[in-house]
Structure 1
């Protein structure tokens, strides 16, 4: 095909988003790789968008419309148009801000971390009163999930500046308090005085009181209003929260049953915290062997998702112990049926595609439980069928390992070779995976010797992982810190400059953190004699404080015989769940690991753990080598 060179003016027109016939209200707005049909869009407008991807992969995208401090995501169904991807949306009438999120491959492209955010205007072109605050709050609290970095001090300053536009939205004060705690406290005090002056409080008023008393850590005040809330609004969220807390704290099963009976006598019907209340009661009944009462309590849970989670967890625990396998099978099968029931009940915090993916991931996880139970009962072919659902959705190494175990037991050796080869190439090659491959390899007609074959697969996996890590390398200044370890020694990051430092943020309550620790111990042992590599395990976000916290951490490390150098992150204030160093490193979930190079800069950040202990050690080896410039 021939291309004609157009005059400059014509070329620019061709590159604009829309033709004259579209008659936009104003000139198009360009933000990074995104172009919008309106400079000052308004609620109710039809808005056309065009996104230019610099990657060959088609982007996945959704937009979020904000309504004050709430946010509602909606899928974007982009259509390729030359080098761009286009879509048209109608801005909801209730919206006061928009944020567009584009995922290219496995990462979000967020306009050099600034995000693609759009304020909304009224029909006169005036900025909507809450638009700036609404968009800012979203970027500051949720933006990190989508590649957006927003300084919380800056967010706090803007929200404070705009406070007069939304003086009743206490949610914003959470961010404002980061920059100006005195101002936030003055608002809380004023709100408290206003509520105290009212003769009759509505349920929302009590919700505000609970927020304020929690901020002030005034347990006595909280305790004083709880009976009033329960009496006035027995079916409300706050009453159900109170009943759940009472059941959680009750020591005996009889007390728990009495609390549930009191809730029902007051006309309470489970929703939100009521579901957690009945889940706690059901588990207490099961612990006493009361199967019928367990089922009775579970049936009072109104949310299929909560009930399915309860059944799956109980079934898995039974399967791990090899106990009550018939009941475990029944509960596990029911959990899968309950997942299917949820398909028409999308929560408003998911887009349609996100919800479908969430259900698929949940079904895969529950199918792993079901397959495990069936296998233990000798129902091997049924177990394989269930496990095929489990491995279909981004399966972790332990899930694929079980699949190979089932196939091996069924002597499907050709398939074991096929699947194990695939998993090892993808970096999911555990020791057991390699053992299953070795068994299947010997049972099939293969020309190459096994060790050479395995070595080739491992090299493919290594080279692939190394290439990916090189693309993910960072070069960001590591926030400095000085913390005490469990021996009372002061450890400063600055004193370790010139070494490669691995930071692991964790807590004693964090399941994935603890599951990853055997692998981390292998790594610590491997580098024990290397004076150029340091591992620091930063304990943070604990629910206890002071001596109780330190004792709990020490007991955990000692009882597991870990040789970790554990540092104790410092809370921002007495009893706070916000900690200094974890906040400085902008950690949103744990476990999170950072590898800091000898130059004092962050080279890698890794969140979570995929269950592959050997893979964890190998990944750390590569990160440490790359960070040191090897």
Structure 2
């Protein structure tokens, strides 16, 4: 990939043109496609940036400033300036590091997986003590989401150096160091954890000390120590976060509303701290009362919960359950309307982990989802025109196939055939058409007495969708080495990837708790059935990241596959160590979320990687067909 680069002189000149009044105080800094007006920026400085993009459209961009182990994102408002995009920011006084993110189209451009990271310096030009480790910590936790690759060894080295240079920084870096270390060397991590625990012996302990010891006991899975420390925290520091979280754990395990009320009374008597934990207790009790048919008590307790976004989510889930079952639709309508009202009232209450634009986008997406619920409830009550109005909000935000199908259903019921033809045509051409979409189109097309034969019209749309999708897939095709593996399937047979060289192989990483994975499986079964007689194509479903282990894990997976009559060849990914949530093969393939599919060509190399599932079963099968054909060299 070619990038436009500037010589040092040209870069300096271009950046100085950003402002007629200010000259950069030193030689500009060049990082990949990013140019900065200072080589060693400091907190409080005004910093000019210029980014070169391969796309003519303004990139979606933001930067993150770190403050020790915390990170705060801020929007960039790039403007086109010749061949580059520019902006200026004022570095917050509290910052110790900067990370810039640029999204071109659907993908983040991450400087060849190295990222755009900028250390900060003091007035003497010395790097801030926490700058290196703060950036490393952020990249370790969030970098992969933005296309940045990091090595555990380098992050561990940053933690170690920070702790050696400043023992007081242990509050920020000790536990992350231990947890990260445990991924590669569990024995060393346990030794360090125990050494840290021993270091507190004989000291007068503060709340921070007890909290650290409690978290170390959690790491070591030492339940007696956890219980003992929690009892001390509950007595001495009843508003401690871990004490409050324990009430949440108790509430999750309660088997009746009477038990739940006892937990709430204990909480209010001993702590009573306002916040997310208290809100959770009230919401849980309210939901239980609703399940028991006590609407009055449900309303009383739900009203006491003040965490509006979580409350809105609960209300939407409760409303959706009733909408799907066609039960208590008036109650469901009230709940759904409340959830939408809460979203509309949230616009000025941005959390720290969002930029302003990200928060606005998140609210729009959430409102679309809740509007889908509201639309279905209204439709089932016979309020068709109101349902259409709600569904128009739902389909405005990258709607999945089931949402667009409901929109067409409502329009068809209202005999808005021209609109059905318009929208169904759009969905099919964009590759989002389903069997139901095509049926609604056929009904509307026939009713509106179009001149062209329907089958010809539909074939034309499908060809457009196919050609566009094929062109995009050709652009996305890669040629990367596929990590080899030997895994056992549910029959105890060992499957070696190297034995399948010469065939096209589809790998699907999944877990029994993963909703999108399970929703995609009917489509995957269609694909498996379609290629059942093709001995040149193999499907392997790699179960990973399960919360159970050993025989319990294998039984859970086997029961799930059998109960759904799937004919999948399921391989069991191996944990890095007993009880670990880190697994070998999923880590080797650098998977960040599931479902994730890889299509390997006959040469054994990865040709495609696909993350997630958009809800379109027919589209999934068609996409796999194209990927398999391209990977096979057809």
TM-score of the alignment, normalized to the shorter chain, above 0.5: yes
State the match for 2:553 in structure 1.
549
Q: CA deviation at 1:277?
A: 3.1
SS of 2:346's partner is: helix
* Deviation digits for residues 479-524 of structure 1 (CA, Å, limit 9, x no counterpart): 1111111111111111111111111111111111111110110011
TM-score normalised to structure 1 length: 0.95
State the match for 2:61 in structure 1.
61
Distance 1:575 1:297, change over 3 A: farther
Pick aligned residue for 1:329 from 333, 357, 381: 333
Q: How does 1:565-580 map to 2 (within 5 A)?
A: 565-580=569-584
Q: Report the Cα distance in structure 2 between the residues aligned to 1:485 and 1:336, rounded to whole angstroms.
A: 46
1:417 is aligned to 2:401: no
Q: CA deviation at 1:65?
A: 0.6
Q: Report the Cα distance in structure 2 between the residues aligned to 1:535 and 1:270, rounded to whole angstroms.
A: 51
State the match for 2:90 in structure 1.
90
Q: CA deviation at 1:576?
A: 1.3
Pick aligned residue for 2:526 from 514, 522, 541: 522
Q: Report the Cα distance in structure 2 between the residues aligned to 1:358 and 1:27, rounded to whole angstroms.
A: 39
State the match for 2:372 in structure 1.
368
Q: Report the Cα distance in structure 1 between the residues aligned to 2:121 and 2:186, rounded to whole angstroms.
A: 31
The total of aligned residue pairs comes to 622
Gaps in structure 1 of 5+ consecutive residues: 1-7
Q: How does 1:264-343 map to 2 (within 5 A)?
A: 264-343=268-347
SS of 1:589's partner is: coil
Moved more, 169-178 or 507-516: 169-178
1:207 is aligned to 2:199: no
Q: How does 1:212-611 map to 2 (within 5 A)?
A: 212-611=216-615
Moved more, 155-164 or 553-562: 155-164
Do the aligned partners of 1:29 and 1:38 also contact (CA within 8 Å) in 2?
yes
Q: How does 1:132-211 map to 2 (within 5 A)?
A: 132-167=132-167, 168=170, 169-173=173-177, 174-202=179-207, 204-211=208-215
Moved more, 524-533 or 471-480: 471-480
Do the aligned partners of 2:541 and 2:568 also contact (CA within 8 Å) in 1?
yes
Do the aligned partners of 2:63 and 2:101 also contact (CA within 8 Å) in 1?
yes
Q: Report the Cα distance in structure 1 between the residues aligned to 2:556 and 2:44, rounded to whole angstroms.
A: 55
Do the aligned partners of 2:96 and 2:120 also contact (CA within 8 Å) in 1?
yes
Q: Report the Cα distance in structure 1 between the residues aligned to 2:338 and 2:298, rounded to whole angstroms.
A: 14
Moved more, 410-419 or 167-176: 167-176
State the match for 2:110 in structure 1.
110
Do the aligned partners of 1:485 and 1:566 also contact (CA within 8 Å) in 2?
yes
Do the aligned partners of 2:573 and 2:586 also contact (CA within 8 Å) in 1?
yes
Q: Report the Cα distance in structure 2 between the residues aligned to 1:206 and 1:462, rounded to whole angstroms.
A: 61
SS of 2:38's partner is: coil
Moved more, 24-33 or 174-183: 174-183
Distance 1:275 1:569, change over 3 A: farther
Q: CA deviation at 1:64?
A: 0.5
Distance 1:601 1:151, change over 3 A: farther
SS of 1:342's partner is: coil
Q: Report the Cα distance in structure 2 between the residues aligned to 1:359 and 1:298, rounded to whole angstroms.
A: 22
* Deviation digits for residues 197-219 of structure 1 (CA, Å, limit 9, x no counterpart): 333431x3333223212211112
SS of 2:333's partner is: helix
Q: Report the Cα distance in structure 2 between the residues aligned to 1:56 and 1:324, rounded to whole angstroms.
A: 52
Q: CA deviation at 1:301?
A: 2.2
Q: Report the Cα distance in structure 2 between the residues aligned to 1:60 and 1:9, rounded to whole angstroms.
A: 26
SS of 1:343's partner is: coil
State the match for 1:125 in structure 2.
125
Distance 1:323 1:269, change over 3 A: farther
Do the aligned partners of 1:17 and 1:50 also contact (CA within 8 Å) in 2?
no
Distance 1:338 1:628, change over 3 A: same
Q: Report the Cα distance in structure 1 between the residues aligned to 2:201 and 2:308, rounded to whole angstroms.
A: 39
SS of 1:142's partner is: helix
Do the aligned partners of 1:285 and 1:291 also contact (CA within 8 Å) in 2?
yes
Do the aligned partners of 1:535 and 1:564 also contact (CA within 8 Å) in 2?
yes
Do the aligned partners of 1:69 and 1:171 also contact (CA within 8 Å) in 2?
no
SS of 1:567's partner is: strand
Moved more, 159-168 or 300-309: 159-168
Moved more, 186-195 or 599-608: 186-195
Q: CA deviation at 1:161?
A: 4.0
Distance 1:375 1:206, change over 3 A: farther
State the match for 2:29 in structure 1.
29
Gaps in structure 2 of 5+ consecutive residues: 1-6
Q: CA deviation at 1:606?
A: 1.2
Q: CA deviation at 1:180?
A: 4.8
Moved more, 67-76 or 156-165: 156-165
Q: Report the Cα distance in structure 1 between the residues aligned to 2:324 and 2:260, rounded to whole angstroms.
A: 27
Distance 1:172 1:440, change over 3 A: same
Q: Report the Cα distance in structure 1 between the residues aligned to 2:585 and 2:160, rounded to whole angstroms.
A: 25
Q: CA deviation at 1:107?
A: 0.9
State the match for 1:616 in structure 2.
620
Q: CA deviation at 1:129?
A: 0.9
Q: Report the Cα distance in structure 2 between the residues aligned to 1:514 and 1:339, rounded to whole angstroms.
A: 29
Moved more, 610-619 or 21-30: 21-30
Distance 1:21 1:570, change over 3 A: same
Moved more, 279-288 or 90-99: 279-288
SS of 2:367's partner is: helix
